[in-house]
């Protein structure tokens, strides 16, 4: 077997060479696939070399934006099968079987980021027996999921012409990046047995718990996402008696996962985080037990991975393999940041589940506002055009919402936004509900959240009532919502996190737009290498209603502004003097 690591290691070269050396067939199961070199390699194998090439994909990975990429492969003769699973489950494999002999697996998706930026592993095993098990898993897909062949639209053209129309993919580096690089790939020969588990399967979870409980000397866990309560419980137990280290991605600081860090830290586990939260991710799913056993594969240690998703997990009993993984773990560990709790304390609720306490009196404190005294003036316009260097990600339709939630949940200091439509609905609105919950979570962990909502020039406009209601609701929960000055129409959909990540485009915060089910939208996410204060300046300088103390106070101010706009200048001055005299 060969083992390669990322970033900037040998994994991409090894995987492409394996495809190029195929003689009969190539079978691929891939969760995220956007790497053009791999697409070209599969097209070449199917079209020019006439091999049998089959590709399984989660059907949710094929959208209007990505469909041409996969249709190009289908047009070249690749049998593209879309896997449809129940809601909440994912086809999460990252595997390939070549000539019924070679098995490639690990944590790495086929994306430029996986090989150029992320911390990943990729394994290639020469084992016809193991290959037979993986092929049986793929052949058995119709028994556990719905399959649908990808049909090529007429616009896709032939495989040959489509091959010239390649997708333009984002660069894999940017100024100021972590320059950490993976070691050279290594060939291993001392492992004669590997235990493979195909999830969802209770046996896989039980096997992992047995491996962890059997540890006598040490446990080193490198994990993108860890929140399975049984696994967390066992790690906490072991951390009280032997050294346990957790190296995780920064996604673990999200409110939904941070309690895991607190639980393990209290038990004595040493924790470090790697990645910048945007384009560098610690994506491994590994554990090293007693320096002799290694657990790896595609599965994060979550409930969904073991109970719902289609995953693979492998355990090697080999000191040589464990030594190679441990050396890389230690190298990344030295480049990671130590994590310790900085606020709040961990308590348990009535069910015994850990939770953090926060001082809600601080959460609810908002910057003071008061009666307007400058009816005739608006905020001075800032410089609204300036160059920036940014990584750009295209977010069409329903891809915007998860990026928005991820940005909110990873915010460290500030969230600033301009919103044209933040509507209310009369029926169930799960996306809007989740968005509001994410904003409140950010407030509760100390992030300043500032939103400006459009104020219509007509008092009978339905958005007037909607935005007023949203302002009242969110301000009571600590979100600093301001209503825009109606004399300056606000049509922006701009959202800035920590002054270095910006989402902008056409997405309003309506249920239809956020879900992507009823409205076609297009937005971009810009990730800057350094904070850009002018992004914050642009949002904070937008003219807003001055008095946000109560719904009555802002309704009064809005009514006065609209009334002034309908009066001649002389009458305006008289009204302003009258209103100013009323204030204490």
Token couple for 336:
């990671």
Token couple for 20:
């190029």
Q: What's the CATH code, domain 2-160?
A: 3.30.870.10
DSSP SS3 for 544: strand
Rounded to whole angstroms, the Cα distance separating 184 from 81 reads: 34
Output the furthest CA–CA distance in the chain (Å, rounded).
93
Q: Report the chain's terminal Cα–Cα distance, integer Å.
A: 80
Residue 433: count other Cβ atoms within 10 Å of its Cβ: 12
Rounded to whole angstroms, the Cα distance separating 350 from 354 reads: 10
pLDDT of residue 377: 66
Rounded to whole angstroms, the Cα distance separating 194 from 444 reads: 46
Q: Where are the alpha helices (DSSP H) in 459-568?
A: 462-475, 511-515, 533-540, 551-565
Strands (E), 318-411: 337-338, 345-348, 354-357, 391-396
Output phi, psi for 136, to 5 deg.
Answer: -65, -35
Token couple for 219:
């446990």
Q: Are 331 and 182 in contact (CB under 8 A)?
A: no
pTM tops 0.75: no
Degrees to nearest 5, angle at CA 339 with 336 and 340: 160
72 Cα distance to chain centroid: 27
Rounded to whole angstroms, the Cα distance separating 333 from 484 reads: 47
Kindly tell me the burial class for residue 301, based on how many C-beta atoms sit within 10 Å of its own C-beta (0-12, 13-18, 19 or more): buried
pLDDT of residue 16: 97
Asked if 2-160 and 387-582 have one fold, the answer is: yes
Rounded to whole angstroms, the Cα distance separating 452 from 460 reads: 20
Q: Helices then strands (H, E): number in the chain?
A: 20, 26
Q: Are 272 and 336 in contact (CB under 8 A)?
A: yes
| Number of residues assigned to the chain | 584
Token couple for 398:
């329903």
* CATH superfamily ID and name for 198-348: Endonuclease Chain A (3.30.870.10)
Closest among 343, 384, 354, 397 to 516, alpha carbons compared: 397
pLDDT of residue 415: 95
Q: What's the CATH code, domain 387-582?
A: 3.30.870.10
Rounded to whole angstroms, the Cα distance separating 414 from 549 reads: 22
Q: Are 213 and 238 in contact (CB under 8 A)?
A: yes
Q: Are 223 and 300 in contact (CB under 8 A)?
A: yes
Rounded to whole angstroms, the Cα distance separating 297 from 316 reads: 11
Strands (E), 127-276: 146-149, 186-187, 194-199, 219-223, 244-249, 270-274
Provide the 8-state DSSP code for 60: G
Token couple for 313:
């997990």
Spell out the per-residue pLDDT of the chain, length 584, in tens: 999 999 999 999 999 999 999 999 999 999 999 999 999 999 999 999 999 999 999 998 887 778 899 999 999 999 999 999 988 889 999 999 999 999 999 999 999 989 998 999 999 999 999 999 999 999 988 888 888 888 776 554 444 333 333 333 333 333 334 556 899 999 988 777 899 999 988 899 999 999 999 999 999 999 999 999 999 999 999 999 999 999 999 888 876 788 899 999 999 999 999 876 556 889 999 999 999 999 999 999 999 999 999 999 999 999 999 999 999 999 999 989 898 775 443 333 333 333 443 333 333 467 888 787 777 666 556 566 788 888 899 999 989 999 999 999 989 889 999 999 998 877 778 999 999 999 999 998 889 999 999 999 887 788 899 999 999 999 999 999 999 998 888 999 999 999 989 999 999 999 999 988 778 899 999 998 888 888 888 898 889 998 999 998 999 888 888 888 777 766 766 776 666 655 54
Token couple for 149:
């062949």
Query: Angle between the 462-475 and 430-444 helix axes, to the nearest 10 degrees?
Result: 40
Rounded to whole angstroms, the Cα distance separating 53 from 33 reads: 15
What are the boundaries of each domain within the chain?
2-160, 198-348, 387-582
Rounded to whole angstroms, the Cα distance separating 517 from 319 reads: 51
Closest among 515, 504, 532, 501 to 435, alpha carbons compared: 515
Rounded to whole angstroms, the Cα distance separating 557 from 563 reads: 10
């Amino acid at each position: 077997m060969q083992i390669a690591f990322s970033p900037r290691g040998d994994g991409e070269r090894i995987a492409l060479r394996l495809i190029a050396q195929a003689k009969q067939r190539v079978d691929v199961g891939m969760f995220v696939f956007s790497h053009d070199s791999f697409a070209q390699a599969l097209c070449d194998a199917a079209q020019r070399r006439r091999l049998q090439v089959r590709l399984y994909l989660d059907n949710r990975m094929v959208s209007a934006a990505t469909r041409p990429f996969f249709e190009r492969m289908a047009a070249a003769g690749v049998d593209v099968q879309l896997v449809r699973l129940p809601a909440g489950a994912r086809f999460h494999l990252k595997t390939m079987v070549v000539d019924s002999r070679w098995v490639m697996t690990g944590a790495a998706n086929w994306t430029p980021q996986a090989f150029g930026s992320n911390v990943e592993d990729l394994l290639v095993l020469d084992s016809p027996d193991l290959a037979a098990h993986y092929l049986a898993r793929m052949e058995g897909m119709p028994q556990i999921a719905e399959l649908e062949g990808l049909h090529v639209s007429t616009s896709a053209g032939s495989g040959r012409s489509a091959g010239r129309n390649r997708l333009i993919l984002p660069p894999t580096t940017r100024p100021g990046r972590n320059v950490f690089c993976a070691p050279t790939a290594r060939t291993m020969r001392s492992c004669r047995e590997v235990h493979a588990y195909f999830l969802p399967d209770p046996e896989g979870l039980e096997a992992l718990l047995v491996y962890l409980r059997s540890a006598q000397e040490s446990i080193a866990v490198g994990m993108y996402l860890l929140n399975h309560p049984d696994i967390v419980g066992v790690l906490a137990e072991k951390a009280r008696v032997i050294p346990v280290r957790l190296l995780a991605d920064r996604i673990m600081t999200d409110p939904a996962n941070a309690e895991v860090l607190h639980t393990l830290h209290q038990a004595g586990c040493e924790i470090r985080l790697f990645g910048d939260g945007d384009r560098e991710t610690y994506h491994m799913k590994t554990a090293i037990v007693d320096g002799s056993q290694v657990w790896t594969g595609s599965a994060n240690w979550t409930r969904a991975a073991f109970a719902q998703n289609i995953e693979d997990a492998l355990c090697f009993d080999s000191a040589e393999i464990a030594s190679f993984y441990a050396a890389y773990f230690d190298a990344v560990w030295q480049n990671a940041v130590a994590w310790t709790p900085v606020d709040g304390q961990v308590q348990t609720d009535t069910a015994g589940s850990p939770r953090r306490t926060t001082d809600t009196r601080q959460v609810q404190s908002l910057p003071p506002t008061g009666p307007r005294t400058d009816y005739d003036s608006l905020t001075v316009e800032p410089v609204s055009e300036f160059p920036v260097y940014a990584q750009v990600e295209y977010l069409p339709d329903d891809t915007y919402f998860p990026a928005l939630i991820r940005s909110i949940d990873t915010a460290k200091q500030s969230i600033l936004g301009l919103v044209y439509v933040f509507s209310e609905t009369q029926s169930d609105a799960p996306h809007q509900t989740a968005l509001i919950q994410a904003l409140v979570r950010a407030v509760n962990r100390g992030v300043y959240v500032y939103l400006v909502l459009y104020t219509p020039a007509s008092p009978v406009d339905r958005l007037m009532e909607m935005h007023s209601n949203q302002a009242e609701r969110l301000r009571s929960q600590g979100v600093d919502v301001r209503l825009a000055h109606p004399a300056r129409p606000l049509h922006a959909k701009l959202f800035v996190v920590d002054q270095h990540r910006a989402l902008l485009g056409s997405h309003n915060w309506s249920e239809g737009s956020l879900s992507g089910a009823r409205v076609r939208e297009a937005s971009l996410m810009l990730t800057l290498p350094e904070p850009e204060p002018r992004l914050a300046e642009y949002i904070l300088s937008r003219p807003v209603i001055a008095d946000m103390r109560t719904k009555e106070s802002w309704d009064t101010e809005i009514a006065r502004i609209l009334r002034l706009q309908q009066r001649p200048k002389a009458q305006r001055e008289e009204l302003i003097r009258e209103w100013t005299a009323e204030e204490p």
